[in-house]
Structure formats: structure tokens, C-alpha cells
Chain A
């Protein structure tokens, strides 16, 4: 079984004739010897670009800078964090410019102020009419257009997802790429992943995604969306390979992770521990919040009968700030960890 399987796993590079080990579903393959990139049928795919990567030490530096920025009062975080995994992987990405135009139709409702009159009877039994403001529903027809021209990116692996993927894709920029050159990165010993999604499939998928975004944007302000027609124009589709690294680290015996952009060595998304000291401090903030909101409420309550505007405003402000402090403080007490963007 073993030898048979390996034979089927090989792809012959049409440029240098080298035997390249591939996964069964790979449709765009980069030769591990000469770096030329072709489809599984041996056709050229045009520009093949990559982002260069920094080495493991530089990634650690970027990671430590991230910890330092988010350490709060936890002074020992940078020193105490012990990296247990920091492997570089090159992921396949399709990118293109997508121009999308939508025409949509629907309606929304608004509250229209209407002056009305009514008859009231006063304490002496005399009736008189008074005017008051009522609100009635108004229906507003909406017919509008949406035009966008955006950079879109998609991970060219089927059904795949990893920690920090969305944030990472945001950092992938064509301006940062260079023509693919395996020589430049081979010393970093990256794991290279080939694409499982071909160009045509990518363009279909990206059309669907942009059209769905437009529909969501159009319907967001409406009571009902009747119609939404979107046309898209995908251009400049480019295949590139971009470096990514997942750092796992231990702090005080517990395991955390951070997603690193391998090109800049900076963290795009990471988990930050919360120490016991931080939990105590935030709980104190919460308790102070309770007292502050109470004082504010009392101030407000005493201010209303004497119509002291200053006192009322101060009371409301203190009550609101107190409530926010309370929830923010106790939220940290019961959180597992913080998640921070780089």
C-alpha cells in the first residue's frame, strides 16, 4: 500500500522534470526544486509571487513587542512567556481587485411627529382641548446603488481555517510581494502548502462573497429588501504564497497562542493571560463602580425636586460611569483571557 500511495503522490515538474511530492487535491503546484509554479495539468499560471519571511528570532521579537504592548500591570509577562511552537508555514492565497455594482430596492420605516389635539377634563370638572405630539409610522421607499472596488483575498485551501486567518489575510498586500524565489526562504525551512482551489473556482467564490456582502450592506438599513442585483468584475487575479506562523507559548504553566504575519514578524491576533493581580485590580474597579453609581444615583435623586440642573447632570454622569466601571471590572474577573489585535 505504502509504495503505491507514494507513486500517486508525485508530480513531474514540466520545467525541470523534478519529482515533486504533492497532496491529492493540489491544483496549483510549486516545484520544490526550481520554484516554477504550474497547474496540475502543467499549464503556467502567470505571475507567481511571494512575501519574504523573517526568521524565527525576528518573529519572537515581534511577539515580545506584542506582549510588551499588552502586558498592562503584568510586568513579568515578557520574561515569563516561554515559546513552545514557532513554525513557519507558507500558505497559498489568491488575490484580486473586485469591482462590484449593486442596484437595490426596498423600504424603511420612520417615526413621523404628528400634532394632535385631545379633550381633557381638569380637577374642577371643566373640559378643554390641548395639543400634543404623537408619532406615526411613515414608509420610505429606498432605491439606491452601491459601488465598491476592493482588494479581496482567499486562502486557497478547501474547508480550511486557522487561528487569526481573517486578520492575517488583511495584512497580505501585493505591494509587499516579490517574484517567487525558493532560494530566499529555504533556509527558514518553511512548510509549503499548495493550492487546492484553482483560479476559476476562486473567481466564482469571490464573486459570491462580494455579492453576499453587498446584499448584507444593502439590507442593513432597511425594513425589507425587495431586490438586489449585483454585477462583479474580478481583475488582476494573482497567486501568491505568504508566510504565517502560529506561536504557542506558556505563561505560568498555561498555554496561549498568537498568530504572526511571517513577512513583518508582527502579531496579527493573540491571546494575553490575565494574572491574579489583574483580576483583583479590576474587581476593585468594579466595586468602586458600584459605589460611584450609587453616589451618582443619590445625587440625581436629591437634585430632581430642587431642579438643580448641574446636580442632575453630574448625578447622571456619575451613575453611568459607575455602571460601566462595574461591568468592565467584573467582566475581567470572569474572563479566561484577553484577545488582542496586533
Chain B
């Protein structure tokens, strides 16, 4: 339990939550009760109904999805989760000294001018600098699906956070497990690592470096995602749909029985015919009592059929998640 420092209401907060959003007055605050001002959101453009129909219409085109999916699927859970992200702008400048590889070439090949028989690598000192501005995006909660985490922040105008807007959709606004200080520290570390990668493209060994890393503007943004669960047949399927854009971040989906049976059945028949053709073609090599048949054609056609058969069987048997490419 936590108590809002601004409206005195009591509200739920988990053990790891350090930046809290009061569900009554919407104020973002630290556990000590300091107000946090740079708190933004992206507005919802797809309500629950639109998100659900968009999901089903999109999922029904996936390979092997049953045709009656959009009419038969029943949503058993629909929750709008507001995920917190920390966005930092980091200006970094790295001056470095190090050793880079180079080589000398000896003993030219007479057959091919310009090519040498021997190469001797050596190290030579190199120095330089990289100045880059990094934009670093850190999820504020640890329990977050990788696909939701890496989904780009939608191309929609940011606005100051409004709790009333989240409430319209019964949205659940997650508290951040990271304080602004921790987020800034992580952003600094990530920027430092990116600079290191840049330097390592130029030199193989870094002998000395001087980093000037300035973590600038850092803000918290809440992004709404519809977390949906629907039932088709006896099974339940999970999906995440971006509430600002309607993109399907990821979705599990059913495959129809006829698709599975067709895939496995036809795949198996093709695999067997293919294997048979290969055996006939290699009869002599394998020491079988009957003569080799269709030695050239059987090998090629047989291998093709076996490969396609295996692919079809895999498609029939596997279950998959689908993601919409952005």
C-alpha cells in the first residue's frame, strides 16, 4: 500500500515500484512523495472494440488460421496496460588512444600482380574521437514482454499524462520499478557501451579513453497496450495490440484442423515418395536386390519432394506467434 502525497488516497503498489502514479489524482511521484513533472503519454486511438476487431481481421489472414475465427473467437480477457518507459537524451564524446591493426605485404605472386604470398600484421597507435547523441529508451518495469519492449514508440504526438484519459478505458497504469536516478544511470551506461562499440570499430585495443557523457533531458512516458486473450475452440490465445496505432505487436493464433491434417498428411506422402525415389535411384550403391531406377531424375525430384514434404509437415505441426511488421 502507498499513500498519495497529493490527494491522500491509499492505493496499491508492489514491492519493486519506486515511481508511483496515483490512480485517483494521476500525479506521478516518488515513494518519498516528490512530484515528478516530466511525465507524458501517447493517446489511445483504438478502443477495446476496435482493437479486438483489428486483431481478429489481421490474425485471420495468417497461414492456416481457421476461416470462422473472426466470428467464433470469444474474448475472455481484455486489459489496457500502460507501460512506463524512460527516455533519455545522452550527449557523448569519447577521445581515445589505442592500437589498430595494419599489415605489410611481402613476396608478390608472379602469376597475379598485386597479390602477395605473405602478410604480416602489426599494431599501430591510433587516436581519434566520436561525438554522438544517443536516444535511450529503457522499460520502467522488469516484467515486460520482449516484443512490447522493442515495439517502437508510436509516431503520434506525446502529451502530458492525463489519468482521466487512461481511466476512460479502465486502463491499468503500471508504476515504474526504476527511479529517475536509476534510469539516468542506466542510460549513461548504455551510451558508454555504444561509444565503446564505435571506438572498437576503429581500434582493436583501447589503451586510454576519456568520456564526456552528459545525460540530458530524461522523461517518463506511458504507452497504452491492449493485452487481450481470446478463446477459440478449447484453447486460449494471447495477443498484444498497440492502442495508439492498432498494430498487432504479437499474437498467438490457432491453426485449423484441416490445415494441420493437410500439412502433415500431404507432407508425409511427399516425404515418402521422395524417399522412395531416392532409394530406387541409389539401389546399386545401397546394395539392394533390385536394379537402380531413374538414377538421375529420381535423385533430384526425390530430394525436392523430401524437402518440401518436411517443410509442409513442420508447418502443419508447429504453432506460431505472428507479429505485424512496422
The interface of chain A, by Cβ under 8 A from chain B, is 1-2, 5-6, 8-9, 23-25, 91, 105, 107, 110, 112-114, 136, 138-141, 155, 157-163, 193-194, 201, 204-205, 208, 215, 224, 226-227, 248, 250, 253-256, 273, 286, 289-291, 293-302, 315, 319, 322-323, 326, 330, 334-337
Contacts and interface: CB of A to CB of B under 8 A. Distances in A.
15 contacts: A2-B162, A5-B160, A24-B219, A112-B112, A139-B103, A158-B153, A159-B137, A204-B133, A255-B57, A255-B61, A298-B296, A319-B300, A322-B304, A330-B308, A334-B315
Interface residues of B, number: 67
Contact of B133 (A159, A201, A256, A335): A201
Contacts, number: 171
Contacts of A105: 102
Contacts of A204: 131-133
Interface string B43-76: 0000000000010011011110000001000000
B296 A302 contact: yes
B27 A337 contact: no
A154 B215 CA distance: 23
Given A141-B116, A155-B155, A293-B304, 20 more contacts: A1-B27, A23-B157, A23-B158, A107-B103, A139-B116, A139-B118, A141-B103, A159-B87, A159-B153, A160-B155, A215-B201, A227-B102, A227-B126, A227-B202, A253-B57, A255-B61, A290-B308, A294-B297, A300-B296, A302-B296
Given A110-B115, A139-B119, A204-B131, A301 B158 contact: no
A302 B305 CA distance: 22
B63 A336 contact: yes
A289 B304 CA distance: 9
A291 B301 CA distance: 7
B269 interface: no
B15 interface: no
B153 A160 contact: yes
A50 to B, nearest CB: 18
Contacts of A157: 155
Interface centre among B38, B60, B112 (most CB of A within 10 A): B112
A301 B284 CA distance: 15
A287 to B, nearest CB: 9
A2 B164 contact: yes
B294 interface: yes
B63 A334 contact: yes
What are the nearest 7 A-B pairs in CB distance?
A301-B296, A138-B115, A294-B301, A298-B297, A254-B61, A294-B297, A5-B160
A159 B152 contact: yes
Interface string B136-177: 010000000000000011110111111110000000000000
A107 B106 CA distance: 13
A315 B296 contact: yes
Contacts of A294: 294, 297-298, 300-301
Contact of A91 (B101, B155, B301): B155
B225 to A, nearest CB: 16
Contacts of B129: none
B11 interface: no
A8 B40 CA distance: 12
Given A9-B159, A319-B300, A139 B115 contact: yes
Contacts of B57: 250, 253-255
Nearest to A293: B300
B100 interface: yes
A138 B315 contact: no
A226 B100 contact: yes
Interface centre among B57, B160, B297 (most CB of A within 10 A): B297
B285 interface: no
Contacts of A302: 296
Given A326-B304, A336-B62, A1 B163 contact: yes
Contact of B54 (A2, A255, A289, A291): A255
Given A113-B111, A201-B133, A290-B305, A322 B300 contact: yes
B12 to A, nearest CB: 20
Nearest to B114: A140
A138 B61 contact: no
B211 interface: no
A299 B58 CA distance: 47
Nearest to B60: A254
Contacts of B126: 227
B159 A5 contact: yes
A329 B51 CA distance: 35
A326 B308 contact: yes
B206 to A, nearest CB: 16
Interface centre among B25, B26, B70, B103 (most CB of A within 10 A): B103
Given A204-B131, A296-B297, A323-B304, A158 B87 contact: yes
A95 B300 CA distance: 53
B17 interface: no
B101 A226 contact: yes
A163 B298 CA distance: 45
Nearest to B245: A162
Contacts of B297: 293-298, 301
Interface in B1-59: 25-27, 38, 40, 54, 57-58
A316 B146 CA distance: 47
Nearest to A215: B201
Interface in B72-92: 87
Nearest to A155: B155
Contact of A296 (B119, B162, B300, B305): B300
